[in-house]
Structure 1
């Protein structure tokens, strides 16, 4: 039989991505993807159901202008400054000062937690699935279990050691409980009663408890910094919108009541410090104003005395009607100019000097200044005595105005200090939502399913990228080795080495299977390929064990015998041969090794198979020197004698890469076929076998692709062949 040559026409484009090929890979391994998706989805379901729910309480605060809603907001705003910024108030809310007040008022440094069950056990509890009546399960908390403390005192050293074992409380019957202290001391007590350990400096009073006997709770007292950090870690605050001065406060906890209680404590502490700060600012301003009142009053008295003294010296000179009118207008204009100065400061922050509003204000100011200059010129022409009286009168009115303003501001600040109203208003009181915010079970389940699909697809693609074996005949032919036939996968044809006892001949038990059509195709290829061969002996080997060479040898022999050929199967694997199991022959039966040793003849060892023209030459007893036996001339003589008696002799050999026996056998036969297995035989192993044969001066004549799975194949090259064989191999009519 001459070796066949094949031109490789299929070129792999390594730098290109074939989306159709990727889709085919994924669809071919859909069961793997489905299995991984189900596993990850189940883990997500367990996590979602086993994680205790987390609740969130929220509150809404409004930052108002300082001074609140007093009767005189303008004056108070001038005294207390500008509006507070939201960023500063947020930092105050998160400050140690506010958090510390909240911890102290709510005793949040006392922590009483129920023993949390494992995730899987928690799932059973939440789904209401009965669990075995075991004492160990009774110690874990159920939904609704709760313990509140009315008093707790621990020694200082317990606070300084956060890793110290906490106090354990085990519920008993009729509101009784047992405490296990870190020093292993056990104390019994009852709900509502004070329990003390004077030696350890420990005291506790349990206010209420919800739970069945056997439930376990852990109790600890945190340090102030630890309690603040714990509270701050679950607290959130942000401004709703932009520059709205509306602050949204949030607190998350696994207990609905605790979340609301903690957020209320923080809100109350913040309001208290805000009111105290506003009162302190008002008190400071009031002290300053009151300190200025005596001086202002003295200025009024001094100005009044100066005016009276001057009038007495000038014999009670009174101002004329014109002078009095001028003085009144000057005073009014100066007040108007002061108001315009204040207004100009506001306008300059919003408009440029060229804006019409700004220009109108400047024009008004110029008009008042011009009118004031005219009045002052009129005053200058008055007699000297009247001018002096006007100046002294103006000084008196100015001093009186300052004094009256200070009196008014002092009264306003007294009202502000006594009102105890800050610049923060509670819009929404702290309240916990009915539904938990976490875990989002539907979202977790959806994401876990999506993640499972991604991981499944990634597994398929990575496995395909790192796969060991060939996937189609083109990969084998690319090595220069022609493929004689492709044997489709038979689901029930597992690795026969793993099966104990007799083995089935699938060509007899499943004659219409698509895989048997592959053997018939191989039979035809061998028949026409060996017409001019000198010998009709064929060695069938593989690169490694488990590729199916014995499966190919036996079933090829059956279909050849069914075609009318006299076939002899030779089990030349003198190390681990097991072809006898296909023919139900005992292990002690004589075989090839006995013939080569001269202990038996062919007539003694040949066994007739289930078909009239099918015979088997078993391996016989496993000798200690199989290679040396095969190298004897007697082996060639046996093959020659078999070639004379049979139309086709199939020699089943050991794997090439395991032992040297196949190379010895291939020298004595007419052709050698290499059995490869779909998705298991690497291309490098095929190349390694070819290299060994080339070094030995031999050549492989062809290959057989065994266990081909069209659903997992990466190429559609066999699609037409698969459909054609399926249509006709089952005896169906088109």
Structure 2
């Protein structure tokens, strides 16, 4: 039984937590929905900012090209047998770095004058927008110096002294054929379009090829130094390999001008291919020089080997080699020839690689293998007769020298052909071409981000506003301040009509007698009946801390439900500043009321009018006087309160907000009970505390409070009267 009880309690706790989470989520969506116009506004502002960003950003175009890295067919360093044993070296990374080097980019900068900069003067902040789109309504407002759409100048030649590098030179267009320069040294000179302007004293020269701009437009030109120009070009250049090990390089370049992007990229590619061809020719030339140095040495060694063999045969007579000895001789000769070739290759490799390079290590491994085999063959030679050994050694020397000399001749011819061909190992597959559409700004992405950020900022502002508001949430917070709560009145949209509605204002207790809010007002009537038993008079002052707390709504409908219960009730509009209760009774603005009664201009019986239900009398505020506080302090007001106490079972005074004026304190001093109205989720605790202090300073106490406008959807997971009323309502509907 104990376990079952424990499980039941656990289930209740879990259900409560889940319900709380659901209410919190509902409150979140409710808060966002109430702030939908703020969210819509920030979203619209975000979209507008995104559109402005797109329109106020210069487009960026991209040019692309494809290169193929081919294998080196005329290898100068290794024989074909050894090349087959080695794996191909990854060259893409090396070539990419060469393509991005200052050697290549600097040549492209020089070929296409990419170190020249021409910038038109633009309006601050919105200059790009105005330079891209024609806006007639701002044309007359812009100074003549600022650029308009489709206005450019063409620079054909520019030479500046070193001291003027990276320095702007201002050009002002005088007319279609003339311009004026403002030089960095403070001088101003004029020039003609299409003619070279030279200043030999400073080493400056410029030629403006064409002008397509109106008079007064201003442009700034400058020439960058080599480092800045190369770095700027490198930042806009991207190189990547298509597929791993494919040897296909994709080259891209971004630029604000579509034609300029293609021209600059083509210049880079041409500079890269030229250096590649030059590098191949240089390698061939280096190898050819080495071979030419070795040919005389090899020829002399061959002649000496042949002479030594002939001398030995003449001395010893004709000596023939046996078949076995001949075989050994051929093997030794072949291996020694390969070793000699490896030695030459090693000499060349030593100029390009260090001993730790894979190609170099493979060559050393091959040489070790050949030397081991050669040692074995020489051991076999040692077992031959003396004469045979000598003949074998001399014959071997001749064949080895002959092979070396022949190979050098062959290699010399190959390198001559390779040098003459001047063909590199890079092939251009696709020349540089600019894409027709700009790659930036990315309109769809910017608009999507603007939409999201605008909505998120709006939602954040709504939630921040709700968090900063910290309005009162339930009756327990009022009770902690020492105010007993007479009733909690549910929210009703009719209470918010106020002065926004034209004509007669409705009375909820008359039109919706079965509404939950009216039920709460009846509960308030009962609570006040017992709460006012010890009051000196059956008079009630109702006030609040701020406008729109619903005090007039509470006073009016409380008076109606009290009269419906058979009491004689008098409702007095004591707000002689902005009182609007008369509109619920279809009374004109100049209807005599409280102000005239206190002034002695109208008798109280004449100013009192019949209310909306039997037993209800109403005294409007009257014409708004210039001194309402002074009127309330007169003895006539005290006599009016006493008269109402004698003639009615309940008199309700609707007063202005306590933190705004002193009228509620004056009224409360003459009435038997004072009730404070706090609006759920609107009235701050600080405002309630300030109101309590205001009455305490006058030696008055608030008798209690009413929590008005309670919305269960905003209750932040708390349970209260709202839940009970919903339950009663559902029961009644059944």
For the criterion TM > 0.5, the same-fold answer is yes
Closer/same/farther in 2, CA of residues 681 and 108 from structure 1, 3 Å limit: same
Q: Deviations over 1:141-168 (max 9, x none)?
A: 56654433210123433225x4xx5423
Name the structure 1 match of 2:381: 376
Closer/same/farther in 2, CA of residues 245 and 589 from structure 1, 3 Å limit: same
Name the structure 1 match of 2:346: none
Q: Is the 8 A contact 2:173 2:213 kept in 1?
A: no
Q: Is the 8 A contact 2:678 2:705 kept in 1?
A: no
Q: Deviations over 1:664-709 (max 9, x none)?
A: 6546534433223354312443456568779968454331424x78
Distance in structure 2 (CA, Å) of the matches to 1:694 and 1:448: 53
Distance in structure 2 (CA, Å) of the matches to 1:112 and 1:366: 68
Name the structure 2 match of 1:42: 48
The one of 441, 460, 465 equivalent to 2:462 is 460
Distance in structure 1 (CA, Å) of the matches to 2:563 and 2:204: 95
Name the structure 2 match of 1:296: 298
Q: Is the 8 A contact 2:593 2:607 kept in 1?
A: no
Range with greater deviation from structure 2 (693-702 or 304-313): 693-702
1:678-689 alignment runs, 5 A limit: 678-686=680-688, 689=691
Q: Deviations over 1:613-661 (max 9, x none)?
A: 311366855378799x48x8x8655423212223432223454456776
Name the structure 2 match of 1:305: 307
Closer/same/farther in 2, CA of residues 294 and 200 from structure 1, 3 Å limit: closer
Range with greater deviation from structure 2 (367-376 or 225-234): 367-376
Name the structure 1 match of 2:430: 428
Distance in structure 1 (CA, Å) of the matches to 2:28 and 2:89: 63
Q: Is the 8 A contact 2:193 2:209 kept in 1?
A: yes
Closer/same/farther in 2, CA of residues 202 and 181 from structure 1, 3 Å limit: same
- Give the deviation of 1:55 after TM superposition: 0.5
Q: Is the 8 A contact 2:340 2:404 kept in 1?
A: no
1:388-399 alignment runs, 5 A limit: 388-399=390-401
Distance in structure 2 (CA, Å) of the matches to 1:216 and 1:268: 35
Closer/same/farther in 2, CA of residues 512 and 111 from structure 1, 3 Å limit: farther
Distance in structure 2 (CA, Å) of the matches to 1:541 and 1:242: 81
Name the structure 2 match of 1:61: 67
Range with greater deviation from structure 2 (244-253 or 415-424): 415-424
Name the structure 1 match of 2:37: 31
Name the structure 2 match of 1:354: none
Closer/same/farther in 2, CA of residues 567 and 702 from structure 1, 3 Å limit: same
- Give the deviation of 1:38 after TM superposition: 1.9
Q: Deviations over 1:95-145 (max 9, x none)?
A: 222222221111111112344567767657767765454272776556654
The one of 670, 673, 694 equivalent to 2:675 is 673
Q: Which runs of 5+ in 2 are unaligned?
A: 1-14, 344-357, 360-365
Distance in structure 2 (CA, Å) of the matches to 1:600 and 1:50: 71
Distance in structure 2 (CA, Å) of the matches to 1:302 and 1:409: 23
Distance in structure 2 (CA, Å) of the matches to 1:77 and 1:187: 67
Distance in structure 2 (CA, Å) of the matches to 1:526 and 1:388: 136
The one of 245, 255, 259 equivalent to 1:257 is 259
Range with greater deviation from structure 2 (63-72 or 639-648): 63-72
- Helix, strand or coil at the partner of 1:108: coil
1:591-606 alignment runs, 5 A limit: 591=595, 595=598, 600=600, 603=603
1:427-576 alignment runs, 5 A limit: 427-470=429-472, 481-489=485-493, 493=497, 506-507=505-506, 520-521=518-519, 524-531=522-529, 533-534=532-533, 535-545=537-547, 547-550=549-552, 552-553=554-555, 567-570=569-572
Distance in structure 2 (CA, Å) of the matches to 1:228 and 1:116: 26
- Helix, strand or coil at the partner of 2:95: helix
Q: Deviations over 1:465-503 (max 9, x none)?
A: 333324677876887634342353459746x6xx9xx99
Name the structure 2 match of 1:346: none
Say yes or no: does 1:614 pair with 2:618.
yes
Closer/same/farther in 2, CA of residues 217 and 341 from structure 1, 3 Å limit: closer
Q: Is the 8 A contact 1:481 1:700 kept in 2?
A: no
- Helix, strand or coil at the partner of 1:591: helix
Q: Deviations over 1:194-217 (max 9, x none)?
A: 234566654321234555666543
Distance in structure 2 (CA, Å) of the matches to 1:513 and 1:477: 33
Q: Is the 8 A contact 1:153 1:202 kept in 2?
A: yes
- Helix, strand or coil at the partner of 1:422: coil
Distance in structure 2 (CA, Å) of the matches to 1:604 and 1:453: 58
The one of 170, 174, 177 equivalent to 2:173 is 170
Range with greater deviation from structure 2 (69-78 or 18-27): 69-78
- Give the deviation of 1:418 after TM superposition: 2.7
- Give the deviation of 1:392 after TM superposition: 0.7
Distance in structure 2 (CA, Å) of the matches to 1:571 and 1:277: 102
Closer/same/farther in 2, CA of residues 537 and 725 from structure 1, 3 Å limit: farther
Distance in structure 2 (CA, Å) of the matches to 1:340 and 1:293: 13
Closer/same/farther in 2, CA of residues 449 and 621 from structure 1, 3 Å limit: closer
Q: Deviations over 1:43-91 (max 9, x none)?
A: 112212332211111122233334569999849979x997463333333
Closer/same/farther in 2, CA of residues 197 and 649 from structure 1, 3 Å limit: farther
Q: Deviations over 1:589-630 (max 9, x none)?
A: 8739x95xxx74983697345858311366855378799x48
- Helix, strand or coil at the partner of 1:642: helix
- Give the deviation of 1:253 after TM superposition: 0.7
Q: Deviations over 1:298-339 (max 9, x none)?
A: 222221222222223234x24256477345543466379969
Calculate the aligned-residue CA RMSD, in Å.
Answer: 5.1
Distance in structure 1 (CA, Å) of the matches to 2:203 and 2:100: 33
- Helix, strand or coil at the partner of 2:620: strand
Q: Is the 8 A contact 2:486 2:527 kept in 1?
A: no
Q: Deviations over 1:254-300 (max 9, x none)?
A: 10111111111222222222222232233223222322222222222
The one of 3, 16, 20 equivalent to 2:26 is 20
Q: Is the 8 A contact 2:509 2:557 kept in 1?
A: no
Q: Is the 8 A contact 2:321 2:392 kept in 1?
A: no
Q: Is the 8 A contact 2:112 2:264 kept in 1?
A: yes
Distance in structure 2 (CA, Å) of the matches to 1:210 and 1:447: 38
Q: Is the 8 A contact 1:76 1:413 kept in 2?
A: no
Closer/same/farther in 2, CA of residues 155 and 622 from structure 1, 3 Å limit: same
Range with greater deviation from structure 2 (642-651 or 680-689): 680-689
Distance in structure 1 (CA, Å) of the matches to 2:81 and 2:116: 47
Q: Which runs of 5+ in 1 are unaligned?
A: 1-9, 343-348, 351-360
Distance in structure 2 (CA, Å) of the matches to 1:514 and 1:130: 59
- Helix, strand or coil at the partner of 1:466: helix
Distance in structure 2 (CA, Å) of the matches to 1:712 and 1:528: 27
Aligned residues: 678
Closer/same/farther in 2, CA of residues 228 and 33 from structure 1, 3 Å limit: same
- Give the deviation of 1:171 after TM superposition: 7.0
Q: Is the 8 A contact 1:340 1:365 kept in 2?
A: no
Q: Is the 8 A contact 1:306 1:392 kept in 2?
A: yes
Q: Which has the higher contact order (CA 8 A, sep 6+)?
A: 1
Closer/same/farther in 2, CA of residues 186 and 711 from structure 1, 3 Å limit: farther
Q: Is the 8 A contact 1:507 1:555 kept in 2?
A: no
Say yes or no: does 1:417 pair with 2:398.
no
Q: Is the 8 A contact 2:115 2:229 kept in 1?
A: yes
Distance in structure 1 (CA, Å) of the matches to 2:689 and 2:141: 65
Name the structure 2 match of 1:356: none
Distance in structure 2 (CA, Å) of the matches to 1:578 and 1:529: 26
Distance in structure 1 (CA, Å) of the matches to 2:270 and 2:655: 89
Q: Which has the higher helix share?
A: 2
Closer/same/farther in 2, CA of residues 265 and 96 from structure 1, 3 Å limit: same
Distance in structure 2 (CA, Å) of the matches to 1:644 and 1:304: 155
